[in-house]
């Protein structure tokens, strides 16, 4: 269905727009949204924004993409695929200050502890423990894992490689899942090929809806880990290095999140916050 929708959207654009650049830009952004498996609702739009922010896209770039998606959602609305243009109903990032969604620690525990499939448990344990981007965990090869030193080699933007730590628990699940394999992609689909981005998103969404009744993306696990580390006292510069952010500005978004959460906890615990 998704492929057909994009093809129909291309015909729609060619009928209503004359600029080849506009058509190419709108179509490219719509394809990106569809191919990565975001849901056609407000939560899907929010996850799209979070993921772009995590790759350090500017607010202006994100808002340009959202303008494309607004046209796409108007098209979807005209076809009866959605009942509203959810792009228009979603808060847009301003000055790059847009707080990412995250899960509480007990929600993470509930999510992970209810995954019985070994591959999926190893996959989500690793994403959370090492705060990995989807591309980083999917690009991981068996040769990149050092079980003895509890670290993995990840490939980041700009062809950069770095070693980051993994938890003992994630390591144990990884070792059990790999089961002696010496090389090749770590996470495989049922055909023995490297797991795709779309499949990863479906896996995360499936377990989250089933266990904690939330529609999340792989990046939500990354955001959650970053938030939990900051709340535990990790230095911001160290967190920047751990997350692989090129600038401290991208990491500072978690300080805003941290302060917001602190204010919420304070308000809820204040003796005057409860009715007599």
Active site residue 222: yes
Catalytic residue among 119, 133, 205, 223: 133
Residue with tokens 């049922």, as numbered in its chain: 190
| Catalytic option among 26, 177, 207, 254 | 254
The secondary element (H helix, E strand) that includes residue 12 is helix 2-16
Active site residue 157: yes
**Helix, strand or coil, per DSSP, at residue 259:** helix
The yes-or-no answer on residue 133 being catalytic is yes
Cβ burial 38-60 (10 Å sphere, 16+ → b, else e): bbbbebbbbbbbbbbbbebbebe
Active site residue 198: no
Q: What b/e readout covers 98-129, taking b as 16+ CB neighbours within 10 angstroms?
A: bbbbbbeeebbeebbeebeeebbbbbbbbbbb
**Marked catalytic residue, from 219, 223, 225, 228:** 219
**Residue of 157, 160, 181, 193 marked active site:** 157
C-alpha 101/C-alpha 113 separation (Å) is 21
Q: Residue 53 contacts by C-beta under 8 Å, 6 or more apart in sequence?
A: 62, 93, 96, 98, 100, 250, 253
Catalytic member of 121, 225, 228, 245: 245
Annotated catalytic residue within 222, 223, 225, 228: 222
Q: List active site positions.
A: 133, 157, 219, 222, 245, 254
């Amino acid at each position: 269905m998704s492929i057909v929708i994009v093809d129909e959207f291309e015909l729609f654009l060619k009928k209503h727009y004359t600029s080849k650049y506009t058509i190419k830009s709108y179509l490219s952004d719509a394809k990106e949204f569809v191919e990565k498996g975001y849901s056609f609702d407000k939560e899907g739009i929010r996850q799209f924004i979070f993921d772009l922010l995590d790759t350090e896209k500017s607010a202006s770039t994100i808002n340009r993409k959202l303008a494309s998606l607004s046209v796409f959602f108007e098209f979807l609305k005209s076809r009866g695929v959605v009942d509203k243009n959810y792009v228009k109903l979603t808060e847009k990032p301003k000055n790059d200050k847009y707080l990412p969604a995250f899960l509480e620690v007990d929600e993470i525990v509930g999510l992970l502890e209810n995954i019985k499939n070994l591959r999926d448990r190893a996959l989500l344990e690793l994403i959370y423990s090492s705060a990995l981007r989807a591309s980083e965990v999917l690009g991981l090869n068996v040769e990149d894992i050092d079980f003895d030193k509890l670290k993995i080699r990840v490939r980041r933007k700009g062809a950069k490689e770095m070693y980051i730590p993994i938890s003992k628990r994630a390591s144990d699940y990884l070792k059990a899942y790999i089961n002696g394999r010496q090389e090749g992609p770590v996470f495989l689909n049922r055909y023995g090929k490297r797991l795709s981005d779309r499949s990863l998103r479906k896996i995360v969404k499936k377990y989250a809806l089933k266990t904690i009744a939330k529609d999340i993306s792989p990046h939500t696990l990354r955001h959650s880990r970053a938030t939990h580390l900051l709340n535990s006292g990790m230095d911001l510069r160290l967190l920047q290095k751990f997350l692989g952010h090129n600038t401290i500005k991208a990491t500072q978004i978690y300080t805003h999140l941290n302060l917001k959460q602190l204010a919420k906890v304070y308000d809820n615990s204040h003796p005057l916050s409860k009715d007599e």
